[in-house]
Structure 1
């Protein structure tokens, strides 16, 4: 390396300095130093305050050229570079240099970012959103021993005292994008399991799910119970209610425990199935769903963008087809339960 630097410096003096910076960080990486040591060494090399920030933890490290924590208020960064791991930006590094940047600052920050990503991956957990599916499955499986579950959660980046919510997702969107939207500033991990996406998060913003996503959200606490609740809630998700929290189901969650044979044999559910198989099933089911969801003729009409008299005529015909009086509270309850149970047959 030294001989190469000498030869190249004859062509461009800047090259020798860049190679020496690369060699400096190669040495640090071979010594497996942590983020604090990286920031301290970088501040000494750059001769200015150096910072490292991980998005997943929100923890910022600022070190002065003397190797101590920077006590002065942060100055505007003179140069910044993102830290990337597995093609995901997990943080940033920067220099707070007074005056114009040094010609080697870009090289220094580039190597610091690479070394920081290696340190995060080594001392972890890696703050990427996507995770090893086997590790996620170990964390949420009801068959896992508690010690193994705790270790899996720790490797995924969840502290022992943090409650974890599990979200079951069906979507064509990337899971890491969904996870970043619903839990932007706290630990979040995602992985596909069979045909369902799994997201583990400490908090879930249910209003932040993007369009086209159907999701069931388990309660915070035991991951295996939360996963079971999330899968159940996902079965209740519909186009009109794409995100379903398990705690919002109440007694409706009991329907998920009824056997498929019992559901199919029910006369009301069978009537819904015949309606769905009919030629006008899309409009009929949409009307019935709107009415069952709102419990009001006029609100259903607003939802469907139709005149209430048109909805009333549809409901009259639907009532005859189902043999249910939809104008009565009992009839409305029967229709809602039958429609929900029929949907559960297909998950």
Structure 2
């Protein structure tokens, strides 16, 4: 190939230069360089500042001819080209050449765009936590076809052979902080979707969620179903139980499919709603339903177990249930969960 380039350069300088450009990018692709290395090498070849931007991150990667990151706001490019992956435009490459563009600038950008697309397909985008909401939504949408979902996950940087963990969160903290906390060493992406934070990760540690964050979790292999399950689990979270796995809900998850009018009209739920007007009573019932034990509920409430026993006896009379019996406790638990769904 080099011999051909030399021979062509003797016959036609433009043809020889074109082959050298093609060889240059073929070499970079064989070496599996990342996007910053592509931009830096392109700037040296073009003898002007070169840039790469992915739509998913919005960040401009720009390098000058001396191999240093370019400072300041990118000016209007002298020449640009789209980065295409599976016929979808995922970004842009450009040159910032003062004056008139050179003859081989279009070819250079064409090869740079191809190399950038190959790099994104291999490594995914830059290791940032926040992602394009539209891309995240496509990855976990129940309506997405398999090809579109696979493309979105690839663009987000997730290997196709690893199971995806999906979390739906309400957080007082920025989503990127939450994502970094629960998955510090592996790819993790986050984006707000319709008032709920979506976090996608290949591994996820539920014990690392920061205080004040509520999260519903799902590990179902189908991302579309996982997102639906995670949002359902989020509706069952409480201050006492801020992290809920969908699998742990079991049959209780079916309550999420009951129409609100049917829940509101249920006698047990109506009784819980009346009880909720007294926060101490609601907290006592919640502690007892959560633990199923007077002594453990007393530990949670920092009260003597005899005091909790008297409260539970009185609450049972108010609700018309024998809370010391399994059937009464089950009804109270279901009614408490159903009441919460009305306010989730």
Give the TM-score category using the shorter length. 0.5 to 0.7
Q: TM-score, normalization: structure 2? A: 0.67
Partner residue, 2:214 = 214
- Taking the TM superposition and a 5 Å limit, the aligned residue runs for 1:145-294 are 145-276=145-276, 278=277, 281-294=278-291
SS of the aligned residue for 1:190 comes to strand
Q: Deviations over 1:263-296 (max 9, x none)?
A: 11111111001111x3xx2111110000001111
Q: Deviations over 1:278-333 (max 9, x none)?
A: 3xx21111100000011111110011001112111211221111111111111111
* Change over 3 Å in CA distance of 1:113–1:36 after alignment to 2: farther
- 8 A contact 2:156–2:189 mirrored in 1: yes
* Unpaired runs of at least 5, structure 1: 1-27, 46-84, 88-107
Q: Deviations over 1:153-206 (max 9, x none)?
A: 111111111211110000110101111111111111000011100001111100
- Taking the TM superposition and a 5 Å limit, the aligned residue runs for 1:1-347 are 34-35=33-34, 38=37, 111=69, 123-124=119-120, 125-276=125-276, 278=277, 281-347=278-344
Separation (CA, whole Å) in 2 of partners of 1:86 and 1:208: 29
SS of the aligned residue for 2:312 comes to helix
Separation (CA, whole Å) in 2 of partners of 1:220 and 1:258: 22
- 8 A contact 2:163–2:219 mirrored in 1: no
* Change over 3 Å in CA distance of 1:314–1:234 after alignment to 2: same
Q: CA deviation at 1:242?
A: 0.3
Separation (CA, whole Å) in 2 of partners of 1:174 and 1:334: 38
SS of the aligned residue for 2:203 comes to coil
Separation (CA, whole Å) in 1 of partners of 2:67 and 2:253: 53
Q: Deviations over 1:183-236 (max 9, x none)?
A: 111111000011100001111100000100000001141110110110010011
- 8 A contact 2:168–2:217 mirrored in 1: yes
Separation (CA, whole Å) in 1 of partners of 2:173 and 2:324: 41
SS of the aligned residue for 1:169 comes to strand
* Change over 3 Å in CA distance of 1:317–1:148 after alignment to 2: same
- 8 A contact 1:38–1:112 mirrored in 2: no
Partner residue, 1:77 = none
Separation (CA, whole Å) in 1 of partners of 2:35 and 2:157: 19
Separation (CA, whole Å) in 1 of partners of 2:319 and 2:36: 72
Count of aligned pairs between the two proteins: 254
Separation (CA, whole Å) in 1 of partners of 2:309 and 2:272: 18
Q: CA deviation at 1:137?
A: 0.6
* Change over 3 Å in CA distance of 1:229–1:37 after alignment to 2: closer
* Change over 3 Å in CA distance of 1:38–1:238 after alignment to 2: same
Q: CA deviation at 1:240?
A: 0.8
Q: TM-score, normalization: structure 1? A: 0.66
SS of the aligned residue for 1:142 comes to coil
Separation (CA, whole Å) in 1 of partners of 2:257 and 2:282: 24
Q: Which aligned runs of 4 or more in structure 1 are off by greater than 2 angstroms? A: 31-39, 108-114, 118-124
Separation (CA, whole Å) in 2 of partners of 1:342 and 1:255: 10
* Change over 3 Å in CA distance of 1:139–1:312 after alignment to 2: same
Q: CA deviation at 1:126?
A: 2.1
- 8 A contact 1:167–1:216 mirrored in 2: yes
After superposition, the CA RMSD in angstroms is 3.3
SS of the aligned residue for 1:148 comes to helix
